[in-house]
Amino acid sequence: MDFSFTDEQQMLQDSIQRYLESSYTLEHRAGILAGNAGWSQSTWNELAELGLLALDIDEADGGIGAGPVGTMLASQTIGAGLLVEPFHSSAVVATRVVSSLARGTQREQLLGALASGEAIAVLAHDEDADWFAPRTSTAARAGDGWRLQGRKVCVSHAPMAHWLLVSARVGDGVGVFVVDRDAAGVALREYRTVDGMRAAEIDFDVMLAADTRLGDADARQALDEALDRGIAALCADALGVLDRILAATVQYTRDRVQFGTAIGRLQALQHRMADMYMQVEQARSMTYLATSACLQSDARARRDAVCGAKVVVGQAARKVGQEAVQLHGGMGMTDELDVSHCFKRLLAFELRMGCTDEHLAHYRGLVQSRAA
C-alpha cells in the first residue's frame, strides 16, 4: 500500500510547520496559557489567513476540501507544535457537524463565520455516561421553537466558543442545536485541563428558536461520521506530540553526560527508546488506518478502525510519555523543557472523545455483536 502524500499535501504540512516554528515558540505558548482567555485571537486570525479553518470545508462551500488526509496532516503538525487554540474542536469537529447537517442560508452563514475565524463553535456531546450517544439531554417542541434540557461534560474550548452545538434526543432520534454560549439558561463551569487548555461542564435549560436545529432529520448518522473523523484527527494530533517527545528524548540522552559518557550509549536506555519508537510507529499505522477508513462509506468499518486507533494511540501516549519523563529524570517535569508539555498533552488526549477503556469496550461490543 502506498502511504506517500501528494505534493500539495506535503506543501500544506510544511507550511504549517514553518509557521508554528517561527511564530509559536514555547515562550509564546506559555504567555497564552498564563492569560485569562487561554487562547490567542491573533493566532486564530493567522490560522484563518493560512486557510486552516476552512481546511475541511468542501470547495463548493468556499473551503479547501482537504478531506480526512489533509486534516490528518494538519492535525499532526499542530499537535507537534502544541497549539492550544481550538483548531480540533472548531475547525475539525464542529465544522464537520455543520457541513453534514446544515442547509441553505443557515449552512452558508455558519460555515462562512467558522472559516473566516469570525466565530468559534464546539460540539457539546459527552454526558459522562456513554460517550457515543446522548442519553439524558433532550429537546422537545415548545410553541414555535424548542426547549433544550440536559448536561454536558468535558466540553473542550467551550469558554471561548460563540456557539455550542448541542446533541440531544428528539423523540426516537437525535438532533443537534446551535446554542449561543451566553444565552439565558446556559450555565458554564469553566476549568483548566491537565495540559492547560480550557474546558467546561454545561447545564442547559434553554428556549430556542425553531431554526436553531441543524437540519430536520435524525442526526445520528451525520454525528457518528463527524465524531469518527474528529477522533481520527485527534489521534493525528497525538501522533505529532509522540514524534516530538521521542525526538526530544533521544536528543537529551545524546547530550546528557554521566561518568564521562553520553547516557544514550547505555544499552539499557537504548532498548527503552527502541520500545518507544515501536509504540510511535504502531500509533502512526493506526492513525493512517483510521484516516483511510474515514474516506470510505462503510460506517461499521470506519467505527472499528477509529476505536482501534484511539486504543493503540492511547496506549502509546501513556507508555511513551512516561518513558520520556523517566529518561529525562527530574528535568522531565519542568516547564523549561518541552517534554513536560508533551506529556501533559498526551495525558489529556487519553481522556478526550472517549478514553482508552471506553473505546476498547465499544470495540469489544462490536466484535461480539457480529459473532452472535
Cell triple for 256: 546528557
Percent of the chain with pLDDT over 90: 86
User: Residue 191 above 80 pLDDT?
Assistant: yes
Q: What's residue 369's pLDDT? A: 82
Range 353-361 average pLDDT? 90
Least confident of 59-68, 117-126, 331-340: 331-340
- Tens of pLDDT along 294-321? 998 899 999 999 999 999 999 999 999 9
Mean pLDDT of the chain: 94
- Tens of pLDDT along 5-20? 899 999 999 999 999 9
User: Hey, what CATH topology would domain 7-116 get?
Assistant: Butyryl-Coa Dehydrogenase, subunit A; domain 1 (1.10.540)
List, in order, residues 6 or more apart from 41 with CB less than 8 Å away: none
Separation of CA 157 from chain center: 11
User: DSSP of 300-336, one letter per residue?
Assistant: HHHHHHHHHHHHHHHHHHHHHHHHHHHHHGGGGGSTT
User: Hey, what CATH topology would domain 121-217 get?
Assistant: Butyryl-CoA Dehydrogenase, subunit A; domain 2 (2.40.110)
At 130, is the pLDDT very low, low, confident or very high (cuts 50, 70, 90)? Answer: low
Query: Grid cell 474515514 — which residue?
Result: 294
At 332, is the pLDDT very low, low, confident or very high (cuts 50, 70, 90)? Answer: confident
Nearest Cα residue to 110 out of 54, 45, 67, 186: 54
State how far the Cα of 238 lies from the Cα of 101, in Å rounded to an integer.
28
Q: What's residue 129's pLDDT? A: 64
- Tens of pLDDT along 261-272? 999 999 999 999
At 54, is the pLDDT very low, low, confident or very high (cuts 50, 70, 90)? Answer: very high
Q: State the amino acid at position 333 in one-letter form.
A: M
Separation of CA 151 from chain center: 21
- Tens of pLDDT along 69-117? 999 999 999 999 999 999 999 999 999 999 999 999 999 999 999 999 9
Domain parsing of the chain, residue ranges: 7-116, 121-217, 220-369
State how far the Cα of 72 lies from the Cα of 82, in Å rounded to an integer.
15
Q: What's residue 370's pLDDT? A: 77
Partners of 33 in beta bridges: none
Confirm whether pTM is higher than 0.85: yes
Least confident of 132-136, 217-221, 349-353: 132-136
User: DSSP of 101-121, one letter per residue?
Assistant: H--HHHHHHHHHHHHHTS--E
**Was domain 220-369 assigned CATH 1.20.140.10?**
yes
Percent of the chain with pLDDT over 70: 98
- Answer yes or no: are the C-beta atoms of 135 and 101 closer than 8 Å: no
Sign of CA dihedral 158, 310, 193, 52: negative
What secondary structure letter does DSSP report for 199? Answer: E
- Answer yes or no: are the C-beta atoms of 98 and 111 closer than 8 Å: yes
- Tens of pLDDT along 220-261? 999 999 999 999 999 999 999 999 999 999 999 999 999 999
Range 198-206 average pLDDT? 97
Of residues 1 and 339, the one with the higher pLDDT is 339
